[in-house]
Amino acid sequence: MTVLRFSAARDGALGNALAPWKLFGETTPAVLEGDARKGVRLDQIYRQTGGLAFADQPIFRDDSRLAAHFDAIPDSALGDPDGPVVIFVHGFMFEVRRKLKARLESDNPHRRLFHFEEPGSQSDEHDTRMTPWLARALCPNGMGDVSQARGLAVCFGYASYGETVSDESPGMLDFLDSVIDFVNPLGRPTNFYALAYIDAMIAGHALAAVLVHLARRLKAVGRGHQRIDIISHSLGTRTVLKAIEALALRYPAPDKVLEQVGKVILLAGACLWEQAGKALDRIDQADPEQRPEFFNILSRADEVVRILGSRASLRVAREEAGLEVNDVDRAAALLQGAGLLGREGKPPQKFYPSADSAYSDWVDIDLHSDAVKSWGFMHGLELDGDRPFLQGDHWVHFTHRPNWELYRRILDGGSGWTARELAASVG
């Protein structure tokens, strides 16, 4: 198999919230495991605006730097034509612009997650969260090296601290501050999670462009109908759903990339209902011949989405969705949290009102549910979504090795493993 890597971040020093966003690629293998700015600078990333249609943004055009970067990739680097094509997207609190560090010390997703190196015992894996995503998803038994993996892995990293740190990671006070969604007199959020939620959206535009040019490059080698699957975790689900919304807004561009997106596995989703619903609404309005399938893997024991994710970004989520936010909404969110994928599951239909019915190519799988665990046992799956208090319910989706057998079966597909079929059997 082969691995392609991309990183999205502001093209400036860490903490510089005014620098423009850029997409970075690599021509030297693994260079993005260190500072993204040592990779090749590609196009600037623009966030969604009313006057700048997605199809007209430079990064989407065939004469863009990103297009040239893909054109320079040898056919042999596009992976086995009979293997899967999977895009990987991480979550909150990763930085792609630091000096290269040891894997255990790094918060660069290309070092920490997008690799094949085993972290030790299952207990070590829970503690270090250094799960080798590429091995777990693409090796036949979830363990192995690049020679044993199948297909093409596209690793997408982005700066997900909300551009609020330089050399230091946020402390406990930063987390406590994020639970209360304040803004400054100019209306800018003050908590670093809400800022990261915005940045995850901006990164989603870059991911959409990567999907467009990846699909174009596959088409050039006779693989235009090959399915592109996606696995994301936490805040990365916000990035992925923004990317899919962008593809739906472009549809039906000549490439029709939206139809090529196949299975979308959302782990511990920190995307709020407002944004998930907007993506589903756009898909329905686009009315593609083939729609993405969503496999929403959640755990109702997840403290991070329950305490932080459901409270810290309600204002920016509502504003982006064109909804008003009043004091009653903020008080309710502070007391009980707002709806999001990793806790409540699929958004109610009122969040995608263009649709005539609920999005049917969607399944919620609660790893904490006894019924789901019993269903998994009948299929030879040892599923788990619960860890001791404050010891990692939010990460157990990927640190618990047997959970990946479920994800591999979803990717492999076959009878009984579509989103609709699973919704009928698991639900």
Of the candidates 73, 74, 211, 88, the one whose C-alpha atom is nearest the C-alpha of residue 149 is: 88
The pLDDT value recorded for residue 378 is 95
Residue where the block lists tokens 């995307």:
271
**For 114-132, how does the pLDDT look when each residue is reduced to its tens digit (9 = 90+)?**
999 999 999 999 999 999 9
What pTM value is reported for the model?
A: 0.94
Q: Is the pLDDT of residue 167 over 80?
A: no
Overall number of domains in the chain: 1
Tell me: the pLDDT tens digits for 316-355? 777 777 777 677 776 776 677 788 999 899 999 999 998 8
Q: What is the mean pLDDT of the chain?
A: 89
Residue 389 is given by DSSP the state: T
**pLDDT-based confidence at residue 166 (cuts at 50, 70, 90):** low
- Structural domain boundaries, residue 221: 2-426
| pLDDT tens sequence across 355-369 | 889 999 999 999 999
H or E element in which residue 304 lies: helix 303-304
What confidence category does residue 55 fall into, taking pLDDT thresholds of 50, 70 and 90? low
Q: Report which of 274, 350, 337 is spatially closest to residue 300, judged by C-alpha positions.
A: 337
Exposed/middle/buried for 394, CB within 10 Å: 0-12, 13-18, 19+?
buried
Rounded Cα distance between 372 and 187, Å, is: 43
Count of alpha carbons within 13 angstroms of residue 265, beta-carbon side: 27
